[in-house]
Structure 1
Amino acid sequence: MESGRVFIAVAGVWALFVTAHAAKPYPIDDSTGYGRTFDGIGGISGGGATSKLLVNYPQPYRDQVLDFLFKPNFGAALQILKVEIGGDACSTDGSEASHMHNSWEENYQRGYEWWLMLEAKKRNPNIKLYGLPWAFPGWVGGPTRDNPWTDPERPAYYVLNWLRGAKAVHNLTIDYLGIWNERMYSIPYIKLLRKTLDDNGFSNVKIVGADKKWEIADDILQDEELGAAVENIGCHYPGTFSDPSAMKTGKQLWASEDYSTFNDNVGGGCWGRILNMNYVNGNMTATISWNAIASYYNPLPWFRTGLMTAVEPWTGNYAVESPIWITAHTTQFTEIGWRYLRHGAGVGNFTGGGSYVSLVSPDGKDLTIVIETMSHDHSICVRPPLEPYNVTKQRVTFQLKGSFASITSLNMWYSRLFNGAVNVTGTMFERQAPLKVVNGMVQLDVAVDEAITLTTVSGGQKGSYPPPPSSQPFPSTYNDDFEGYPEHMEPNNLAQQTGSFEIIDVGSPHNKVVRQMVLSQPVHWCKAEGRTNRSINLIGNYNWTDVTVQMDAKVGEVNGSSGYFVAARVDRGGGESDQAEGIFLYIFPNKSKYHLSGDFEHKKGITEGELPSSNSDWNNVMLTVQGGTASGTYNNQKLFNVSIPANPKYGFVAIGTDSWGIVDYDNLMIKAKPVANLRQKPKDNTLYYKPKA
């Protein structure tokens, strides 16, 4: 024992109550004023179809997942939910339905973002809602269908209607709107959007510009009207640093999309580091994770890059990953509207590596200090590159000054992401005994890869439920007649990659069917959709190799597609769906032709021929792939039995259209050879990740 100091071990953290001679303290002091206002920590649903599999999770597991995301003082307690304004086009892991497929119609029951926003609000009425388009229906793009800014009135009208639908149909108040995700922005459009919002009763809705990098800052500095229209500047993947021009605007700066990293403990370290360092280095007052919930098939692009994972609606299995608890270190002990302390007076870097931020409640009564000591190799985010740095075990002394000098104890929450070895989980979000503050001083030894919250807030909870059901592969036998769905809902487990598929009641005898709705090329976001003019919708287990898929289909009498397909062993979707290989059976009823191809673009022909005559618009198609052969039938009449390419050896089942236009589908049946759980991708980020489209 050193003279005047008493050491107490608290769950692996050495707490030292100091009575004298504290060396090099870090001041926590509000007497010189405050820094910026805290705008919150959030997650993104969209960009795209990242919440798809969560929608039909069985209860109670669906509510449990939602609680871990949104319920205050339980899990991540997210303070912002950013959603895609669906544009009928692929936006990474699939396409999300538009509220206006065409200029002459509107529908605010489509898609699942309305449902997710309602569930978030149900749990936290104070959560902020933020809408952003990734893509637009083709009509918004005008004659060229590739640029939404050719006539700014079109996108302004389109977005205004989305806001109106949110309020009138779902009683949802949207707080923020973006422009066009990671694409060019239009200054005339931004100005028109601001005027349109103000003229139509939405002056409360704030504009975030421009969800790319910091480019818009220079335009704001040169254009007073643009500066008045844009409330906050939102940058994607800033690497914890803002731009001098952005600082000069005086605007609130956001990391409006960040993280995007595999959610193992390295991903948790990435998230913990940037949540602090975005403010320490870049004065960013909000950080929003892409994505909130990884709920899409493995191995679609960026599998498991959510704060948690829920990919098995057929069982209810889900996994609460480390980023949930890293988020809680901030969100459970702050609220939007709190104030950061100034740099050097509660915000900064430790001499031994790591960082700390301090936030104060609006009434000045509560203080929260968040500490992170994430090492370089255990906190690498996917982007941008992380320069080398070192973190060492160190003794940290805080000196509470100003109005905090009278604080006598601080509640403590502790996480350590690694327990001495990579991928060996340590301790996550555990409450420790309160730390006494003596003469305004508190000191603790902190190790590497830790997150610690010291706070006067008495709440906080590590929420828990009994373990969910064990993981199981997608069922090897699957049937759906689509009768159990509300109209306009997307069918369960069919994960549309391009195009938009929804339930439509066509009357007897088929009643409710799945209809592909997109009639023309959308204003695309993924490069793939700019290269293809057809839709694809995936289902099942990527490991399926021997499979039979059968369904009824009908080409629309008006605005119909040129044809449709059923497919097996489909090896990809998302932003690469145009390159998908597999065994595709295309049917062209109006030409009485079929075409068996080894790829989605039906360029790799295997066989083709005439269709048997049919007296009905509805026809039954069946494809069986087994070993090195494929066979097909049309209305139970044999079409072919042929050898097929050796690759791909396995993949999803898929349905889709040959061109944009209406096709109806009914009575989906799948029989597959049972397989083990899907092989997992490597957890080493450098092996797994590819550049985002």
Structure 2
Amino acid sequence: MTSNFPGISSSPMISVMSAIQLAWTHRLIWATSRLLVNYPEPYRSQILDYLFMPNFGASLHILKVEIGGDGQSTDGTEPSHMHYENDENYFRGYEWWLMKEAKKRNPNIKLIGLPWAFPGWIGRGQNWPYNHPDVTAYYIVSWILGAKQYHNLDIDYIGIWNERSFSSKYIKLLRYTLDKQGLQRVRIIASDNMWEPISFFMMFDCELHQVVDIIGAHYPGTRTVPNALATQKKLWASEDYSTFNDEVGAGCWARILNQNYVNGNMTSTIAWNLVASYYEDLPFGRDGLMTAQEPWSGYYAVEGPIWITAHTTQFTHPGWHYLQVDGRLEHGGSYVALTDGLGNLTIIIETMTYRHSQCIRPPLLPFIVLPQKATFYLKGSFVSKFLCVSHLLHFFSLCFLSLQVHEGMFSLNLDVDEVYTLTTLTTGRKGTYPDPPQSKPFPSNYKDDFNIRNPPFSEAPHFADQTGVFEYFVNTSDPGDHIFTLRQVVVQRPITWASDADQAISIIGDFKWVNVSITCDVYIEHLGNGGVFIAGRVNNGGIYVRHSKGLFFWVFADGTYQVTGDLSGKEVLMKGMSGVRARVWHTLTLNLKGSSASGSLNGYPLWENVTLSETSHGWAAIGTRSFEFAQFDNFHIEAS
């Protein structure tokens, strides 16, 4: 195969495209960085360096974060900055922290915000954010303003609603509201779903065409559609990858990073998810660029997708231009070429085979890639360039091999399942740290009295909210010994993205646990139908949390209790009177051993000899009967 460059192309002469921003990055959407914030130092900083530090690891160009909406977004819930209409707090959750850490390492990183869910008050009783578009626009713009006012963060791009319907009226009103608040620089991405119908509507609605800056599609399979191309807008794979981070996942990432541009003219590819820092048995476990799911041990793993990313991000920067080349190698594989317009050139080549590069979605049609010799011709200002070669297997220094370009020509022998970067840059390296601590399971004896003195409204270590939001709380109303507690604070069902449970639930621990004893002090605030539970062997979370099975020990404000085999409460195994009252602290204990279960209230046996039909396993959990205020304290697990 031969290619000619003025740039690079399989055609004799080609021209450089107009300025196209390059942005290869990743997103922590869907509560997938929940455990990262609880990592001890220095391991937390090391993980962040591998993700964001320029010329060290993944060197990400863009960070896309969830605008927390109190609802389930695949692997958990993230708190909103406005739980209620008259409530504003720009310190909830870990997204602010993560954005600041990314900016600290790379001040030039671009930031994107996108909502998955919205707090219930926006819908005015309906599961729809567009009935009052002015309210929704105000809510989103307040998040952008809060990012700047409280964290000095400039949000560069804003989305509409992840993988859900869009409203042209809302998009236009969002642009108007942004401009009215002096946020003209914030660009709009729509619609974070499929290429259609947003492209079609933009072709016939001049105002919509004007206010949408980027068309973002999810999992496009490296392809676009004619309408999207006809808009002449920037096209982004605004969510992609979503694949287990083993060798096949790395191959998937390498292939689509190149071929999204080669086949689909997409100039940015954003991977879900940033770092697999959530319990692995939640949906899409380990579908991150690297793995960091053990804050209790400090263990983390730098996976292949980190170095696949580095082959592009360490040798290009946002603002570089793609050269308009064919990009298809004669015997399979692809290449792209980019320049900064100042004389620098970077070429990324991938030869991923079908078996080595299948992404989780969409399905990939079979293809063949063979070993080959590729010959390239440089033209124009690139004729006399000296190129350093970084090879996937040798990403230890900038130049594992140097190429002297002779009269604008060079050749390279390419094997299959390889990635090469050829560049004029003199930066880039494979950053390293000493090995982290050894992997360990979740502690078998774990206590939390929530007295860490973290700020109110932040989250307790290792708890992963699946429906509802559980925050540190300072109890000032007759607290007794319970001054610092964990409180469930969402009292209205949010505008959901997934099928959230009707109960609020937060999980913790080891999914393999079978025999456990769980103790927790509980406080029902709702005088009517209020109720709380503790649970063991919880077998589902994330988007499947509604269907969770396990053993749930409930107490209610009306003085009754239930033992159920599921979160919904439909599978009742035992029930009776408990004497529990609202606004009084009580201590619940749940014991699970083999096929037998028993429960105590305030240290006295309340029920026993519940026989389980099968000996399952799963997390421990706490939660509430509905979306209601309730508090928890002195949580203790013993597993054997």
**Alpha carbons 2:520, 2:632 under 8 Å: kept:** yes
1:391 maps to amino acid: V
Q: Does residue 1:343 correspond to 2:325, yes or no? A: yes
Q: Is the 8 A contact 2:526 2:582 kept in 1?
A: no
Residue of structure 2 equivalent to 1:28: 5
Structure 2 match to 1:16? none
Q: Contact between 1:322 and 1:428, CA under 8 Å: does it hold in 2?
A: no
1:196 equivalent to 2:165? Answer no
Alignment: residue pair count: 628
Provide the C-alpha distance between the structure 1 equivalents of 2:314 and 2:615, rounded to a whole number of angstroms.
Answer: 47
d(CA) in 2 for partners of 1:164, 1:449: 45
Residue number in structure 2 paired with 1:387: 365
Partner of 1:42: 25
Alignment match, 1:421: none
- Is 1:100 aligned with 2:82? yes
- Aligned position for 1:625: 592
8 Å CA contact 2:466, 2:506 repeated in 1: yes
How far, CA to CA, are the matches of 1:561 and 1:330 in structure 2? 56
Secondary structure (helix, strand or coil) at the match of 2:368 reads coil
Task: Note the aligned Cα RMSD (angstroms).
Answer: 1.4
- Structure 2 CA distance, aligned partners of 1:140 and 1:193? 15
Matched with 2:429 is: 461
Which whole-Å deviations, capped at 9, do the CAs of 1:79-129 have from their partners, x for residues lacking one?
000000001011100111000111110111100000000000000000000
2:348–2:420 CA contact under 8 A, matched in 1: yes
- Which residue in the other structure is 1:74 paired with? 56
Q: Deviations over 1:383-438 (max 9, x none)?
A: 1111111000000111111110121x21110015xxxxxxxxxx556641311111
1:273 aligned to 2:255?
yes
| Structure 1 residues not aligned, in runs of 5+ | 1-23, 417-426, 674-693
The answer (yes or no) to whether the contact 2:5–2:14 under 8 Å persists in 1 is no
Aligned 8 A contact 1:571 1:648 in 2: no
Cα distance in structure 2, aligned partners of 1:68 and 1:105: 36
* Equivalent pair of 1:131/1:176 in contact (CA under 8 Å): yes
**1:111-190 pair list within 5 angstroms:** 111-144=93-126, 146-190=127-171
2:506 aligned partner, one-letter code = N
Q: Secondary structure at the match of 1:324?
A: helix
The 5 Å alignment of 1:211-222 reads 211-215=192-196, 216-222=198-204
Once the two structures are TM-superposed, the CA of residue 561 in structure 1 deviates from its matched residue by 6.6
Amino acid at match of 1:255: A
CA 300–451 in structure 1, closer or farther in 2 if over 3 Å, else same: same
Q: Distance in 2 between matches of 1:59 and 1:654?
A: 27
Structure 1 partner of 2:374: 396
Q: How much does 1:637 deviate?
A: 1.7
> Are the equivalent residues in 1 in contact too, given 2:580–2:586 (CA < 8 A)?
no
> TM-score, length-normalised on structure 2?
0.96
Task: Give the superposition deviation at 1:243.
Answer: 0.9
The 3-state SS of whatever aligns with 2:307 is helix
Q: 1:235 aligns with which of 212, 217, 221?
A: 217
Matching residue within 36, 45, 51 for 2:33: 51
Matched, 1:635 2:578: no
Report the Cα distance in structure 2 between the residues aligned to 1:378 and 1:615, rounded to whole angstroms.
Answer: 57
Percent pairwise identity = 50
Change (3 A) 1:383 1:429: farther
Matched, 1:360 2:360: no
Q: Is the alpha carbon distance of 1:400 and 1:616 closer, same or farther for their aligned partners in structure 2, counting shifts above 3 Å?
A: closer
Kept in 1: contact 2:22–2:321 (CA 8 A): no
Q: Distance in 1 between matches of 2:565 and 2:125?
A: 34
- Cα pair 2:595 2:612 within 8 Å, conserved: yes
Name the structure 2 match of 1:578.
546
Partner secondary structure for residue 666 of structure 1: strand
Residues in 1 aligned to 2:164 and 2:354: alpha-carbon distance in whole angstroms: 31
Q: Shift of residue 38 of structure 1?
A: 3.0
Q: 2-side partners of 1:278 and 1:616: how far apart?
A: 57
Runs of 4 or more above 2 Å deviation: 30-33, 427-431, 612-616
| Distance of 2:335 and 2:579 partners within structure 1 | 72
CA distance, structure 1, for counterparts of residue 426 and residue 208 of structure 2: 43
Verify the 8 A CA contact 1:220 1:227 in the aligned structure 2.
yes
Contact 2:486 2:633 in 1 (8 A): yes
> Hey, what's the Cα distance between the residues in 2 that align with 1:636 and 1:513?
20
* Alpha-carbon distance in structure 2 between the residues aligned to 1:292 and 1:369: 25
Does 1:370 find its partner at 2:355?
no
Structure 1 pair 336/628, CA: closer, same or farther in 2 (3 Å)? Answer: same
Q: Secondary structure at the match of 2:518?
A: strand
Separation in structure 2 between the aligned mates of residue 648 and residue 572 of structure 1, nearest angstrom: 15
1:472 maps to which residue? 440
Partner of 1:516: 488
Distance 2:15 2:630 in 1: 63
Equivalence for 1:651: 618
1:601 aligns with 2:568: yes
Alpha-carbon displacement from aligned partner over 1:566-595 (angstroms, at most 9, x marks no partner): 00011111111111000000110x210110
Residue 10 of structure 2 is matched in structure 1 by none
Q: 1:278-300 deviations in whole A, cap 9, x for unaligned?
A: 00000000000000101110210
